[in-house]
Amino acid sequence: MTPKNPASIRSVDGGFSPRDMTDDSEPSPIDIDLRAILAAMRRNLIAIAAILATALLIGVVATLLMVPKFVATSQILVEQQADQIIDTEGPQPTVSGQESERFLQTQVDVIVSRSLAERVVESEGLADNEAFFAAQGVEYPTEEDLGGIYSGRNALSRLREDAAIELLQSGLSVNLPVDSRLVAISFESTDRVVAADIANAVATNFIEANLSRKFDSSAYAREFLGQQLADAREKLERSERELNQYSRAAGLIRVTGQGANADQETTLSVTNDTLVQLNAAASQAAADRIAAENRWRSIASQASGSIPQVLQNPAYQALLRQKSEIEAQLAVERARHLEEHPNVLALEAQQAKINQQLSDVGEAVKRSVRLEYEAARDRESDITGRVSAIRSDALDEQDRGVQYNILKREAETDRALYNTLLTNFNELNATAGATSNNVSLVDLAQPPRESSSPILILNVLVAMILGLIVAGVYVFLREHLDDVVRSPEDVERKLGINVLGIVPNVGDADPQEELADPKSPMSEAYASLVANLRYSSSGGLPRTLSVTSAQAGEGKSTTSFKLATDFAGLGRRTLLVDADLRRPTLHRRFEDREKEGLTAVLAGERSIDEVIVASDRPNLSLVSALPIPVDPSALLSSYKLEMIIEELKSRFDCIVFDAPPTLGLSDSPTISAHMDAVIMVIDASSGRRGAVKSGLRRLSMVNANVLGAVLTKFEAKRLGSEYSYYTSDYYAYSTKDGE
């Protein structure tokens, strides 16, 4: 049998999609198929046109329904001038470009601030001006609009004031041109006069507020410096008083430095020398304790007789010599006398006494090592405690010296700050009121003659852009949610199988006449399908081939008959078997339309030779599906089907089975399980992905070898120029062209 997933087979008739022609080219970084997009647009051209027309109509109607708005603009000149309270001597520092831009942007932020809006609303009485609210397209606030936010006797006034401020800020815009100090103040309103008045009011109030801010800042600075000067004087007195009190209370002995350090003071300290000596003693005590501890730990767990200190003890060595002598005498006596002899007993008693003495001496030496360790530990602890106490006294003494220096520096700092503030205060009093305004009015706003909005061209353009977006979303959703398999790419992308052939739609022409004409597009398409099948496996054409479809009426019977005819035309003994036991069609081609076929053989009523009918074409034989059985599934599931196929394979080179549809029936999977290869026929005009995938799933459950699909009733014109290759004149040449 052929492989389950053969490579895609391509031929000149269109057994591949147009994009397959560029498979060997370098992949594009952005995979956008413009031809597919154009084809999708062409298929949805009516819907796209309707969406764009609707968007255009909405844009025009919305423009006509909009209330015209007017924009009036006033201009002011903002000079770069540093606000200096103290007039310093010498040239003024140059202001960088970045600082200049920051200054101008700050002025713009002040113009659009809420504080200036409140000033304009108050000076122009906008909170009580119903015409202003009407010009901005807002109803004049009443008590019904209070809600629960405002309360009290002045609730309505505060509501109207806040509403007027919000309307003013929403209609106000400020433009700061590049490389210019002219600031344009614009206001938008449905009333041209109101627009001009508000723009002028904002400009004049900004100029007045800027000048008032300069005078207020000078007065505030004098008041602020006066308060700071009084605070600095009080702080200086307090810091000097605290320094004197602390030096007296701390009792520090301070000595003036000598030589290079004559301008510095040092502190005499008795505790420092003591601390140095105690630290040295503590280090030695720690070393002694560690040595004693090591000696003790090395013998703590050992027997006294094996400790070097014990073995080196003179008393212990003398006892060992005595023990050796007594043991020698005891050995002599035991050789002469029995164990109960008085001499033996006396020597044994002496031996036991000496052993006890050896044990006592060993334990005493071991105890002395432990006592030496404990004494070293106690000595270290005592010295460490004294070091801690002395260290605490030394640190306290150092802290007192540090605190004195801190208080001294604080007093010096307070004195310097007081002198600086006093100088600045005197200079500020001398220069108060010498400032000038750096903002001036250049152009007053005039009532505009033409409205600024709505703009018909802009609204139509925006409507068209939105319409294109909506149309794109519509086409995208429709194309991706569309379940119909129309093109070879749909077969490969939606079903995951190869396209073996594409059979064009003949329209109103008779399919039988098209098939009878070897030069018709339909005949050429089937000829290409046969050529593809010849290279579908290493053995060439499959011996047994099942042709099925997901549903009835997709062209599987026509495909089966044409394939069998073309196989026979190649000189192969071919048998076409009508395996659709439910709706047979092949018997209609017989002179005897009642000729029994596959059903009779499966039922055991006829032999194979009795049902085979020779056709009018060389090498082609036919077998009908008659008679129609009561239970087709039971007949096809019997063991006889496999026996019949094996016998037919011994007689014919190619056997084509016209199988029933796969959807809802078990007949086609049963037949396909015994076939070398299976072809799925799909109607390009009505084939549904769900139905075809369900059929393919049923075939995969029986391990059927599905070579690929044949796309029938294909209309390239409906898919656009992307598939114009399939409508080429190559398939429509006449007999005269071939002469």
- DSSP strand pairing (620-623 vs 574-578): parallel
Mean pLDDT, residues 170-174 taken together? 91
Residue-level pLDDT at 371: 81
Close Cβ partners of 737 (under 8 Å, ≥ 6 residues apart): none
Mean pLDDT, residues 459-486 taken together? 83
Instruction: Give the three-class secondary structure for 709.
Output: strand
What does the pLDDT look like over 19-74, one tens digit per residue?
443 344 444 444 566 777 787 787 788 889 999 999 999 988 888 887 888 899 99
The dihedrals phi and psi of 545, each to the nearest 5 degrees, come to: -135, 130
Most confident of 297-306, 409-418, 445-454, 592-601: 592-601
What does the pLDDT look like over 633-666, one tens digit per residue?
888 888 899 999 999 999 999 999 999 998 777 8
Under the banding of pLDDT at 50, 70 and 90, the label for residue 730 is very low
Read off the tokens for 268: 């005499």
In angstroms, the CA 627 to CA 633 distance is 14
Under the banding of pLDDT at 50, 70 and 90, the label for residue 251 is low
**Which region among 464-468, 702-706, 725-729 has the lowest average model confidence (pLDDT)?**
725-729
Mean pLDDT, residues 712-722 taken together? 68
Residue-level pLDDT at 383: 81
Read off the tokens for 349: 């008693």
309 pLDDT more than 80:
no
DSSP-assigned letters across all residues of 458-478: HHHHHHHHHHHHHHHHHHHHH
- The residue type of 9 is I
Closest CA to 635 of 660, 606, 601: 601
Mean pLDDT, residues 140-151 taken together? 80
What does the pLDDT look like over 531-541, one tens digit per residue?
888 887 777 88
Query: What is the DSSP-derived secondary structure letter of residue 126?
Result: G
Other C-beta atoms lying within 10 Å of the C-beta of residue 676: 21
Read off the tokens for 369: 């090592």
What does the pLDDT look like over 361-390, one tens digit per residue?
777 777 777 788 778 888 878 888 777 777
What does the pLDDT look like over 552-568, one tens digit per residue?
888 889 999 999 999 99
In angstroms, the CA 348 to CA 705 distance is 108
More confident residue, 77 or 300: 77
Residue-level pLDDT at 272: 66
Beta bridge partners of 182: 77
The dihedrals phi and psi of 683, each to the nearest 5 degrees, come to: -80, 120
Close Cβ partners of 545 (under 8 Å, ≥ 6 residues apart): 533, 563, 654, 655, 656, 657, 675, 676, 677, 678, 679
The dihedrals phi and psi of 441, each to the nearest 5 degrees, come to: -85, 130
HSE, side-chain direction, 13 A CA sphere, residue 30: 2
Close Cβ partners of 319 (under 8 Å, ≥ 6 residues apart): 354, 357, 358, 361
In angstroms, the CA 699 to CA 362 distance is 99
Percent of the chain with pLDDT over 70: 80
Residue 561 near residue 586, CB atoms below 8 Å: yes
Read off the tokens for 161: 């004031």
Read off the tokens for 371: 């006592």
In angstroms, the CA 235 to CA 563 distance is 112
12 pLDDT more than 90:
no
Residue-level pLDDT at 474: 87
Mean pLDDT of the chain: 78
Under the banding of pLDDT at 50, 70 and 90, the label for residue 691 is confident
Instruction: Give the three-class secondary structure for 373.
Output: helix
Beta bridge partners of 195: none
226 pLDDT more than 50:
yes
The sign of the dihedral angle between the CA atoms of 51, 57, 60, 65 is: negative
Burial class of 372 by CB neighbour count within 10 A (0 to 12, 13 to 18, 19+): middle
Which pTM was predicted?
Answer: 0.45
248 pLDDT more than 90:
no
Q: How far is CA 260 from CA 253, 263, 265, 268, in A?
A: 21, 8, 12, 18
108 pLDDT more than 70:
yes
Residue-level pLDDT at 378: 83
Residue-level pLDDT at 623: 93
13 pLDDT more than 50:
no
Q: Per residue, what are the HEC states of 235-248?
A: HHHHHHHHHHHHHH
Close Cβ partners of 634 (under 8 Å, ≥ 6 residues apart): none
In angstroms, the CA 203 to CA 123 distance is 12
Residue-level pLDDT at 67: 80
More confident residue, 202 or 411: 202
Close Cβ partners of 719 (under 8 Å, ≥ 6 residues apart): 39, 43, 486, 487
In angstroms, the CA 578 to CA 599 distance is 10
**Which region among 7-21, 175-189, 206-220, 349-363 has the lowest average model confidence (pLDDT)?**
7-21
Residue-level pLDDT at 53: 93
Query: What is the DSSP-derived secondary structure letter of residue 492?
Result: I
Mean pLDDT, residues 119-137 taken together? 89
210 pLDDT more than 70:
yes
Q: Per residue, what are the HEC states of 83-101?
A: CCCCCCCCCCCCCCHHHHH
Mean pLDDT, residues 459-468 taken together? 91
Read off the tokens for 339: 């164990």
